[in-house]
Amino acid sequence: MTKAIEYVKELNSQQTEIHYTLTHILGHALAWGAYKMRRDIGRISWGFFRSQSKRVGVTCLVEVDGGSDLVPCTLFNAHELSLKDFAIEINKKI
């Protein structure tokens, strides 16, 4: 986690238009991980595993108003987004 925190600080020091957090970094990493293991994502229907999902979604709980409330934000196919686009989409949804 120490390197991730340093990475967030470095990203925020390089630019000012987007405020990156650990949620952005970990959410984007989870999207990539879910995409790489997409054959294991599916549903159990009538006792059989069906891997028919064409879209992979990631849901992050994001704090609002300084932590007074948490809002779930879901992005589908987030592995196709860059880290910057991922952060922008999450910030739009809040």
32-41 per-position pLDDT tens digit: 998 888 777 7
- pTM equals 0.78
d(CA 31, CA 43): 18
Query: DSSP state, 72?
Result: E
Q: How many Cα atoms within 13 Å fall on the side-chain side of residue 48?
A: 4
Lowest mean pLDDT among 21-25, 65-69, 80-84: 65-69
Query: Minimal CA–CA distance to 91: which of 56, 58, 64, 67?
Result: 64
Q: Is residue 23 within 8 Å of residue 33, measured between CB atoms?
A: no
Residue type, 82: S
- Extents of the domains making up the chain: 2-93
User: In Å, how far are 29, 36, 39, 79 from 53, measured between CA atoms?
Assistant: 20, 13, 9, 15
22-64 per-position pLDDT tens digit: 889 999 999 999 888 877 777 788 988 877 667 888 898 888 8
